[in-house]
Amino acid sequence: MGCVPISLVGLDADDTLWHSERHFASIEERFRNLVAPWITETEAADRLLERERANLEFFGYGAKGFTLSMIETAIEASNGTIPTEAIERLIEWGKEILAHPVELLPGVAETIDALDGDVRLALITKGDLFHQEAKIAASGLADRFDRIEILSEKSPDQYRQVLGRCDASPSEFLMVGNSLRSDVLPVIDIGGHGVHVPHQLIWGHERVEREGLTVDWHQLDEIRQLPDLVARLNEERAS
């Protein structure tokens, strides 16, 4: 990596800066109960995840794709016999996710304050553009970032493009998030630095089997530890 200091810190949004997955998990529990007359809870969870993955190329990430996947899964599970009222309920549950207030995770505001001025900050998230824009605005954090990027996918190529727009090299970039799959591994793949801050809930599509991984990343118990990590890494590079 050389001795280039970290000058750009990217922060994921959902379940890194604010709660997200718990809202989806709550609705999914209702969904499993809704389709219980036709399939078991395990089957419902497996079929929904499979449908969500298949629909990513059509609907992308977020509440809208999740809602459409629930509807498709329910129709398939019931062999088309699920009543209209139940479909209407699924749509309302999807709107409930979209309308849910933004709740910052503990330590987020003070962490951003501590980093401000020492490095450039970029909010890098993925998902439905309209919903992500609304959450960012409601968070009260938008003005604290030098750049905001809402991506359709977090791939190595997408990160390279973000760094190009930020006029930064991978060696001076550190990405922080709760997902190894989206926030850490693709950044390491392009020569950047990844910081994993686990959240107690993670969507099945984002889970990664650690066995066999040969790359290194930084692991934190909570986001409050991030300023000290950045300071230590830059001290090591300066020495």
Domain spans of the chain, in order of start = 8-18+103-238, 21-99
CATH number of 21-99: 1.10.150.240
Q: What is the mean pLDDT of residues 75-97?
A: 97
Residue 178, C-beta contacts closer than 8 angstroms, at least 6 positions apart = 12, 14, 15, 16, 196, 197, 198, 199, 202
Q: What is the mean pLDDT of residues 66-74?
A: 97
**Residue found under tokens 């062999």:** 79
Q: Which residue has the higher pLDDT, 146 or 208?
A: 146
**pLDDT confidence tier of residue 233, bands split at 50, 70 and 90:** very high
CATH number of 8-18+103-238: 3.40.50.1000
Is residue 49 a contact partner of residue 204, using CB atoms and an 8 Å limit?
yes
- The lowest-confidence range among 22-31, 96-105, 202-211 is 202-211
**pLDDT confidence tier of residue 3, bands split at 50, 70 and 90:** confident
**pLDDT confidence tier of residue 213, bands split at 50, 70 and 90:** confident
d(CA 17, CA 196): 13
**pLDDT of res. 113:** 95
- pLDDT, tens digit (0-9, with 9 covering 90-100), for 161-195: 999 999 999 999 999 999 999 999 999 999 999 99
d(CA 113, CA 82): 50
Is residue 220 a contact partner of residue 108, using CB atoms and an 8 Å limit?
no
Average pLDDT across the chain, whole number = 93
Q: What is the mean pLDDT of residues 206-222?
A: 79
CA of 53: how far to CAs of 69, 73, 134, in Å?
9, 12, 24
d(CA 152, CA 195): 21
Q: Give start and end residues of each alpha helix (H) in 78-155.
A: 84-99, 108-115, 129-139
d(CA 105, CA 110): 11
**pLDDT of res. 214:** 66
Residue 149 in tokens: 């990027």
Q: What is the pTM of this model?
A: 0.91
204 pLDDT more than 70: no
**pLDDT of res. 1:** 44
**pLDDT confidence tier of residue 203, bands split at 50, 70 and 90:** low
